[in-house]
Protein backbone atom coordinates (compact mmCIF):
# COMPACT_ATOMS: atom_id res chain seq x y z
CA UNK A 1 0.00 0.00 0.00
CA UNK A 2 1.20 3.50 -0.76
CA UNK A 3 0.57 6.89 0.82
CA UNK A 4 0.52 8.44 -2.66
CA UNK A 5 -2.79 9.13 -4.41
CA UNK A 6 -3.39 7.76 -7.89
CA UNK A 7 -2.62 11.15 -9.56
CA UNK A 8 0.61 11.48 -7.56
CA UNK A 9 1.67 7.98 -8.57
CA UNK A 10 1.16 9.07 -12.17
CA UNK A 11 3.55 11.99 -11.63
CA UNK A 12 1.12 14.78 -10.80
CA UNK A 13 2.20 17.21 -8.09
CA UNK A 14 -0.34 19.11 -5.98
CA UNK A 15 -0.91 22.75 -6.95
CA UNK A 16 1.16 22.39 -10.11
CA UNK A 17 -1.17 24.72 -12.03
CA UNK A 18 -0.65 27.46 -9.44
CA UNK A 19 3.08 27.70 -10.10
CA UNK A 20 4.34 30.95 -11.59
CA UNK A 21 7.12 29.11 -13.41
CA UNK A 22 7.26 26.00 -15.58
CA UNK A 23 7.52 22.78 -13.62
CA UNK A 24 10.18 20.19 -14.31
CA UNK A 25 8.79 17.01 -12.80
CA UNK A 26 11.38 14.37 -12.00
CA UNK A 27 11.26 11.00 -10.29
CA UNK A 28 14.25 9.86 -8.28
CA UNK A 29 14.85 6.67 -6.32
CA UNK A 30 15.06 6.83 -2.54
CA UNK A 31 17.46 4.76 -0.48
CA UNK A 32 14.45 2.99 1.03
CA UNK A 33 13.57 1.48 -2.34
CA UNK A 34 10.70 3.84 -3.11
CA UNK A 35 10.58 6.77 -5.49
CA UNK A 36 9.99 10.49 -5.07
CA UNK A 37 8.24 12.49 -7.78
CA UNK A 38 8.58 16.25 -7.42
CA UNK A 39 9.32 19.56 -9.09
CA UNK A 40 13.11 19.58 -9.52
CA UNK A 41 13.32 23.25 -8.51
CA UNK A 42 11.43 22.74 -5.23
CA UNK A 43 11.31 19.08 -4.14
CA UNK A 44 11.24 19.73 -0.39
CA UNK A 45 7.56 19.17 0.36
CA UNK A 46 7.38 15.96 -1.67
CA UNK A 47 10.55 14.65 0.01
CA UNK A 48 9.11 15.40 3.45
CA UNK A 49 5.87 13.69 2.45
CA UNK A 50 7.75 10.62 1.23
CA UNK A 51 9.82 10.51 4.43
CA UNK A 52 6.59 10.16 6.43
CA UNK A 53 5.39 7.10 4.48
CA UNK A 54 5.22 3.80 6.30
CA UNK A 55 7.67 2.13 3.90
CA UNK A 56 10.29 4.85 4.43
CA UNK A 57 9.82 4.87 8.21
CA UNK A 58 10.23 1.08 8.34
CA UNK A 59 13.40 1.31 6.25
CA UNK A 60 14.78 4.06 8.50
CA UNK A 61 14.02 1.97 11.61
CA UNK A 62 15.87 -1.02 10.11
CA UNK A 63 18.87 1.19 9.31
CA UNK A 64 18.89 2.60 12.81
CA UNK A 65 18.87 -0.90 14.37
CA UNK A 66 21.74 -2.05 12.13
CA UNK A 67 23.99 0.83 13.17
CA UNK A 68 23.22 0.54 16.91
Q: What mean pLDDT is predicted for residues 15-33?
A: 79
DSSP state of 10: T
3-state secondary structure (DSSP) of residue 61: helix
Q: What is the DSSP string of 23-59?
A: --EEEEE-TTS-EEEEETT--HHHHHHHHTSHHHHHH
Amino acid 1: pLDDT: 44
Is pTM beyond 0.85? Reply is no
pLDDT at 7 over 90: no
pLDDT at 43 over 50: yes
Q: Are 2 and 53 in contact (CB under 8 A)?
A: yes
Q: Are 28 and 36 in contact (CB under 8 A)?
A: yes
Q: What mean pLDDT is predicted for residues 35-48?
A: 92
Amino acid 19: pLDDT: 58
Amino acid 68: pLDDT: 73
Amino acid sequence: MTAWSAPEQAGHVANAMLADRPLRIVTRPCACGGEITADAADPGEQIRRHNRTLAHLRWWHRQDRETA
